[in-house]
Structure 1
């Protein structure tokens, strides 16, 4: 298909679109399931106050709840993907909104289940679990009782739930301010044409070969944010205080432990990540020196970090060729894995090309009872090949989890969500590096790989450290002023990037545009997931079949155990510093390799 003008949905050949008809042949089938959800929700609600009356009743309720969420997740997933095909279609908007409404309705009607289970004594519940059928729910009950001391009375929980919309205010205000109200200046692009800076084109502008374009984009964006410094500080301060409040009322020792407690992850994992990166900053400093040398500049500035250090490499890879490259890259994972990838290509899991109205970016979706669909906007670039491998990693993780686990454990924790996708990327990169002999192309690939380390492992850890510092500041009675946040953020940039770069004053405002600072200690998981993936990819390449078998066991585990344990069973222990140190040691080798080539 190559590079063509943007088409309407109907113009895309059917073989390059995903097969949503295998979910629902028509809207009538979808509506039938909607009716089922309403009826089943009402049926379950009738058990309120009775679910602990016997093991038989408890099992009935849990089975019906599983059935309800199997159906409603399929309904919502279908509506969501139909909307993503073309967001302009009012019919798809209706499907999405109705599906979302049904999801909320199901949650309301089943909200009594966990509090009622928690009202029982643990010994009483263990007695019920001995009954046939209920043993399936052992991990589920363990997880509930683990959090029992952090669950409040029914009245208090109701009050907290009613605060939901108010609690979301800081993030919603940030989103409106950053995405809707702020307007960035117009600058000149490489061809001297006027271009308005937007969130979408900011990084591409920083990747420009023209240094004047990079500098203008950098200064244009952050000068604008700086004008609203106190407003963004007030938003972030409000969000931090909100999370501290919820952590305190739920009797956690800190906001960090409250956030990590949801996945049963120890605070040590967070602290070890920061410690390991601090101990390996020398590799980043050397990479910065190489970047300065490669770009041939007297001073390296913050706006020079994204532009490729290898010029004039234009690698065009049509989709069919991209599929073959991905399959070759994933060869170390063995035939069982690769056969499922081929199945995904053949059975139309993937919506390949952009069309008018289609959602941007890429993701892996679907539900327990559907194909693990993939949305792409493939444009024949090397990045698109990596995106295909990445999303296929997510989809294979979903496929193996759903095929091998009952519905209740058919999903995987957010803590491990990026492991399979990044492992695929690492294996693909290993294949490409081993099969590329042209110096310029090899440099391009090494630069691409090292940028993943910089942006995912180093930068996300810097974000994680920033979060930790600002929460601790508020927890000890401090306040997050614009001046304090700017100073803290700039000092971290100086620590992480070292003496070889001019840390421009305006970078102090970067925290203002990062939405993840409203996600409550979320970003560290990008860095831990990346480290685990690098560790597992090396294990697969080194050990062969035994490594692959352990890895497949991880993919098939879903959420049948806590994420730290699931990873341990695969051979990587995230409670130690080893996985992060191992990933950073690989980064050090890549730095040495690119240094020799430049």
Structure 2
């Protein structure tokens, strides 16, 4: 539902990425650089000067790639069924695959010439690459023969298809049925943003019809999505076993430089929040019943604000709130936010066939604009989304400024910078709002946000973990198996009875588990939201309260990029996720927030 007038200020300036060239010209420049790299490749390791030149050329190539790929991908995400951008995306995929295939034996060459490479790395000009090569040498047992690596490189292009099929299906093919409101007026539901807004309507019949329209849309494709999920994980697991890992989980843990027991420990620690979860949502349901005079809280009622103080926020108001709330970071941080607004880094508004949800771009090395896509709908939730994605973009700014080689962000800790912004926004709003009902809404947003990024995401992650175990055990995975497993995970982490989730009346909503986009990417991602939330809740409180020593630690964290292991990067904040202390600290904060929530009632 587009309620803001579309103009250039609310659309992003992607033309900057072309660097005063046409798309074809930038593509030609990329191809020339690609050919140069292939020309240098046979001798890249033979002398120190060759090796230094090789690293330099690859660095420059990555910068051009970031411009080109971001231009194509962001345009495609504006219209996921646009044939021009689908064609360009496939074209780039083929071209990149050719480069990958021709250099598929590079790791084997480096391993064969380990002594030589280690000698080169003593050169101060190459010191930033030492960590990367040490990791490569450490993973030598998972590197296959040159012939096998070449074969896997060719086949890897197929692996990307799962995510692409999922995106095409969910963002371009699956459509929501029109619905009627209580006056029998037909309402069009064009996007997920429409669903989000309509589920906050005061018209309960409309809410119910929208809820069924939304869930039925995915439920109809449950068998297709179940098969896609199964074959995706089967492929991920088989590829990991081929590389001599125990399974897919073992492979991603190795990539993240962690042990599998850390994931299981996080599951256990988040499960300890379940009593607080039930206590809060029981109270929240009572409040919804009282506020809206409901005999029972149905699923289509749960998106309502807990009070009837429903404030709409314009884009300009949201900008002002963000600047004021995040002023605790200091002038440089605020200057980057102002650039994001003034230099049009943001695609603000929903459009038909636009990528649902929100994101801040990856692959930012060499760029000076860190683009954000969102679907602003005037709700408080959209203000939080803006704060969240700006956290990612400003993280990109700092490590881009301070790192030459490691100017990227490991997925493991990527959510810390974004969720910290959300916590600070909440604390600012709680302090500046005088209306008790507004404060209640803000506390509700903060607490539900915490459970959404811990309990909710761990339900998804533990589900994902168990699916991999079933594939290892050669167990069948049908929609019924998926549904039952999802129900069990909900019971495990929420303390609610199984009957709360297995009611036939609401069965359509169980297909939710099939539309988690991160499942189809191949990086075992969603538990990392909890990895982000736990440090972020602690960080948000300390930063907002002016803890100067911690703020210095926080900027060290932002600037470090991927120069350290993920766990050591988080340790820059003084937080060790292998210990229970941080989870206990969060538990205490959460308990106090729920007490404050109950007092406001």
**What band does the TM-score fall into relative to the shorter chain?**
0.7 to 0.9
2:65 is equivalent to residue 60 of structure 1? no
CA contact (8 A) 2:413 2:566 kept: yes
2:337 alignment partner, one of 341, 352, 355: 341
Inter-partner Cα distance in structure 1 for 2:29 and 2:287: 62
Q: Indicate if the aligned counterparts of 1:233 and 1:481 stay in contact, CA closer than 8 A.
A: yes
| Structure 2 Cα separation of the partners of residues 236 and 34 of structure 1 | 34
Aligned to 1:118, the other structure's residue is in SS state: helix
Shift of 1:458: 1.1
Aligned residues of 1:291 and 1:309 also touching (Cα < 8 A)? yes
Deviation of 1:489 after TM superposition, in Å, equals: 1.4
- Paired residues of 1:6 and 1:356 also in contact (CA < 8 A): no
Alignment check: 8 A CA contact 1:418 1:529 kept: yes
Q: Is 1:423 aligned with 2:420? A: yes
Pairing 1:62-461 to 2, within 5 Å after superposition = 62-81=55-74, 103-104=96-97, 106-108=99-101, 110-121=103-114, 123-168=115-160, 174=166, 186-195=178-187, 200=192, 201-219=194-212, 222=215, 230-296=223-289, 297-311=294-308, 313-352=309-348, 361-365=357-361, 367-378=365-376, 380-406=378-404, 408-461=405-458
Instruction: State how far apart, in whole Å, the 2-side matches of 1:128 and 1:25 are.
Output: 34
Distance between the aligned counterparts of 2:598 and 2:297, measured in 1? 17
Structure 2 residues without counterparts, runs of 5 or longer:
none
Look up the match of 2:514: 512
Equivalent residue number for residue 490 of structure 1: 487
Contact 2:443 2:593 survives alignment (8 Å)? yes
> Is 1:27 aligned with 2:27?
no
CA distance in 2, matches of 1:220, 1:31: 42
- In 2, are the aligned partners of 1:34 and 1:102 still within 8 Å (CA)? no
Greater alpha carbon shift after TM alignment, 479-488 vs 554-563: 479-488
Secondary structure (helix, strand or coil) at the match of 1:49 reads helix
Report the CA distance between 1:173 and its aligned residue: 5.4
* Structure 1: gaps (5+ residues): none
- Name the count of aligned residue pairs: 588
Alignment of structure 1 residues 440-589 onto 2, 5 Å? 440-499=437-496, 502-503=500-501, 504-505=503-504, 506=507, 507-520=509-522, 521-542=524-545, 544-589=547-592
CA contact (8 A) 2:4 2:349 kept: no
Deviations for 1:348-400, whole angstroms, at most 9, x for unmatched residues? 44455668987665433355233223345545443333233222211211111
**Deviation sequence 1:41-83 (CA, Å, 0-9, x none):** 2222123332221222212111111111112212332344456
Distance (whole Å) between structure 2 residues aligned to residue 537 and residue 178 of structure 1: 34
Distance 1:146 1:543 in 2: 41
| TM-score of the two chains, using structure 2 as the length reference | 0.86
Specify whether residues 220 and 587 from structure 1 end up closer, same or farther in structure 2 by C-alpha distance, changes over 3 A only.
same
Distance 2:224 2:19 in 1: 50
Distance (whole Å) between structure 2 residues aligned to residue 285 and residue 63 of structure 1: 55
Superposed displacement of residue 203, structure 1? 4.2
Classify the secondary structure of the residue corresponding to 1:570: coil
Deviation at 1:282, TM superposition (A): 0.7
CA distance in 1: counterparts of 2:395 and 2:253, whole angstroms: 22
Give the drift of 1:6.
4.7
Q: 1:491/1:190 Cα in 2 relative to 1: closer, same or farther (>3 Å)?
A: farther
The two structures, once aligned, show a CA RMSD in angstroms of 3.4
- Provide closer, same or farther for how the CA distance between residues 5 and 177 of structure 1 changes in structure 2, counting only shifts above 3 A: closer
Q: TM-score, normalised by structure 1?
A: 0.87
CA distance in structure 1 between the aligned counterparts of 2:81 and 2:510, rounded to whole angstroms: 39
Partner of 1:37: 30
- Residues 35 and 552 of structure 1, relative CA distance in 2, 3 Å threshold: same
Report deviation, 1:253: 2.2
Contact 2:199 2:211 in 1 (8 A): yes
**SS of corresponding position for 1:46:** helix
166-175 or 570-579, which deviates more: 166-175
DSSP-derived class of the 2:256 partner: coil
For 1:173 and 1:356, locate their aligned partners in 2 and report how far apart those are by CA, in whole Å.
Answer: 18
1:50 to 43, 53, 77: 43
Shift of the alpha carbon at 1:425?
1.4
Q: Residues 320 and 276 from structure 1, CA distance in 2 versus in 1: closer, same or farther, beyond 3 angstroms?
A: same
C-alpha offsets along residues 419-472 of structure 1, whole Å, 9 cap, x if unaligned? Answer: 211111111111111111111111111122222123221111101111112221
Superposed CA offset, 1:23-53 (max 9, x none): 546335x655444332222222123332221
Separation of aligned partners in 2, 1:221 and 1:359: 16
SS of the residue aligned with 2:330?
helix
